[in-house]
Structure 1
Amino acid sequence: MPREKIKIKKIDSLTARQATFSKRRRGLIKKAQELSVLCDADVSLIIFSATGKLCDFSSSSMEDTLTRYVLHSNNVEKPVQPCLELQMGNNKQEMLHKEVSNEFHKLRQMKGEYLEGLNMEELEQLEKKLEAGLSLIIKTEEERTLHEIKKLQRKEARWIKKNRQLKQEMKMMILSGGKSMTVNLEGDNKVLDAKGVLLEWLNNVSISGNRVPPVDNNCSHPSS
């Protein structure tokens, strides 16, 4: 009469479950020991009972076997991980592609394209964005112009100062010399004092002091 096949499921009776655990544990350890002897394999077995009791078997050193297992696990390539990373990368790429497409669409709408499908509320929002962008452009251009004006004013002040210094140096050079020169005016030789002529010329030279009118930093622009 054939033995009745036991259905694999949890045994409800605690006593029967403990008896089955003890019997099958001994059989499992025996099979592990036979496998290590027959096949010259390093076999290690770790079992925790339902109550947390530890049962183990090792054909050699348990510590050495566990160390070899950890090293082997770290070196083994996992084919599933690259697939997951590739899938995540594809999903992120697709998401970024959609975002770029949406931004290009918004940019074209701000240029006046693809406005047919927009309702009044969306058109008003687009108008507010354009007004805000225009205000920012005006403010940026204002700041750039003021910066250029101030730069030119500083440059002008340096040149005026330099011209005054040169004029003063020329006066000192003329006053330090005493030579006269002879010039021919309408055929008559006349002796002119070079010192006096040059001083008169220098006195008549005017240094431009015209300045760029100051710009009011709080100047207002008509609102768009």
Structure 2
Amino acid sequence: MVRGKTVIKPIEDKTSQQVTFSKRRSGLFKKARELAVLCDAQVGVLVFSSAGRLYDYSSTSTRSIVERYQDTKEGSQLMSASTESKFWQAEAANLRQQLHNLQESHMQLLGQNLSGLEAKELKILENHLEMSLHNIRKKKDSVIINQIQELNKRENIMLQEYKELEHHFDINHQENMNLQKKVHVQQGVDGGDKSSGTEYNIAGPDEDLTSVRLELGQPQHVAKEQLEEPTLRRL
């Protein structure tokens, strides 16, 4: 089972604080002793408790380690300006040489400045170029595959949207056809009611208006007899 990460924060309880201090101090001294034995190093550890009590460990002598530390510290601080200047000049020269080597290597990778190279060096350069070309092609294939997969996903989404639109269109078309049928049926019913009969007023010269109702669908001679019958009766 993996142990959880211990949160480092001050311990408020004095008893727990003292127990932890004792355990960690012993562990620190143990690690210092192992480092001194394994690596043949001079190790010194100084620890003051919260109460001001001193605990120390040294692989040789605490005093000698402290004196050596002071001498080294003072020596580094007393470095002359000329020595520091020479150090930075050497660093600058080293960086210029590295830059020159990188530029030359770059030109060789472009196929230039190859006159001073031997067959072995040219073979190494060829292997580097082949490896670079292989990595470039591998990366290109990966990019193309990812693009194709993305396009396929978009195609599937668009196809699904098209099917949904087509389904909605069929529903709307069917509803439109049903609505047109209802309109035609309603128009036929209304036309039949309106064409059942129509009244006309027919009046001869010097005669009163006579109301005559003509029924649609009757023969023409019947309508003619109905029109002539009032005139004959008056004669």
TM interval, shorter chain, is: 0.3 to 0.5
TM-score (structure 2 length as normaliser): 0.41
Larger relative helix fraction: 2
Ranked by relative contact order (alpha carbons within 8 Å, sequence separation 6 or more), the top structure is 1
TM-score by length of 1: 0.43
